[in-house]
Structure 1
Amino acid sequence: LFALISGFGARRRWRDRHRLSACHRGLWTLVFLLLALLGALSGSALLGYRRLTTETTLATLDVRQLGPQRYAVRIDFPDGGHRGVELAGDQWQLDARVVKWQPRAVMLGASPLYRLDRISGRYADAAEESERERSVVSLENNNPFDLLDLKRRFPQWLPWIDADYGSAAYLPLVDGGSYRVSLAPAGGLVARPADAQTAQKLKDAGW
């Protein structure tokens, strides 16, 4: 809006032969356009990220065994969406990406943001981990303007952002298991059994 107003003013002054004033207004028009473009890119880069204020549930997982070391996992998200994946191994692992702000931004009320990155299967035995089939499923949105990528490429443009890859959490895959994964404001990923039955199964498995 400011760019349009300034642009019309510059055009009018140019027609009235106020060349210097028109150039001045034209320069401000360019500045406003650049700021608008930067704002649009920042908004696009935040797509897929969610605001984190308290310990927040990222997802719940329900597991069904398909065969030896093969499981179907349903992932339910807080917004009502869900996704089904198949994992190979003895354990599941969920990774999240976290955006943390610099202290001055935190003082202004900025809260950390998070985005789920991937889910994968893990083997309890390290030898199997290197030899057996791996299963990794991306949970990212296909967004060409990712906030973390922009931070790495143009750190001088985003000085108020302190971004990192967050953390991961994992637990054993058990048939009929139900799990809840949450993220604390400090950025730590936490996985817990979602019901007493799953808690007992994990206890029986030595967890």
Structure 2
Amino acid sequence: MQLELTPVYAGKRGMPRTFILNGDQWALEGNILKWDDWLNFAGLHTMYKLTRVRGRYESYLDEGNQTPSVYSLVEREDDPRWRWLYKYGHRLRFVSAVYGNTVYTYPSEKYTYEIYVTTSGFIARVREE
């Protein structure tokens, strides 16, 4: 399958990238830093970093036996800031959780998906035309 990913940050469209993926579904992975609820209510939004796009097989047997396809979306996968947050974020005041998150769905020639970051992680919604 072919996936075109166009990042949009603060309303500005980035450069589209095209990925050839093996599998039944596409998946987008990243890191999530969730603040305590009251900080979110006060306007501090969930922090995130998109890290990978990959193909995903429905069957766990296929995941182990078929050819994987994984692409990095970052220059450095060993980001020391996120590594530190994973190790010590739970000790920080006002941090609710730090974790990895993946959103995946079936490819579609009919629909375009928009990925959003919510207070609990990534979600995929069909874009209304």
- 1:124-135 to 2 correspondences below 5 Å: 124-135=58-69
Shift of 1:187: 1.8
Distance 1:109 1:84, change over 3 A: same
TM-score, L = length of structure 1: 0.49
Offset from partner CA, 1:7-33 (integer Å, 9 cap, x none): xxxxxxxxxxxxxxxxxxxxxxxxxxx
Instruction: Kindly indicate whether residue 116 of structure 2 is the aligned counterpart of residue 191 of structure 1.
Output: no
What residue number does 1:96 align with? 30
Instruction: Kindly indicate whether residue 41 of structure 2 is the aligned counterpart of residue 76 of structure 1.
Output: no
Distance 1:107 1:76, change over 3 A: closer
Cα RMSD of the aligned pairs, angstroms, is: 3.1
What residue number does 1:119 align with? 53
Amino acid at match of 1:74: E
Aligned length: 125
State the alpha-carbon separation in 2 of the partners of residues 142 and 99 from structure 1: 18
Which range is displaced more, 152-161 or 73-82?
A: 152-161
- Is the contact made by 1:151 and 1:163 (CA closer than 8 Å) also made in structure 2? no
Shift of 1:166: 4.5
Indicate the structure with greater helix content: 1
Indicate the structure with greater strand content: 2
What residue number does 2:85 align with? 151
- Is the contact made by 1:148 and 1:163 (CA closer than 8 Å) also made in structure 2? no
Amino acid at match of 2:105: L
Distance 1:147 1:158, change over 3 A: farther
Q: Which has the higher contact order (CA 8 A, sep 6+)?
A: 2
Distance 1:141 1:165, change over 3 A: farther
Shift of 1:111: 2.6
TM-score, L = length of structure 2: 0.73
Shift of 1:142: 2.5
What residue number does 1:38 align with? none
- Is the contact made by 2:25 and 2:55 (CA closer than 8 Å) also made in structure 1? yes
SS at match of 2:64: helix
Amino acid at match of 2:73: L
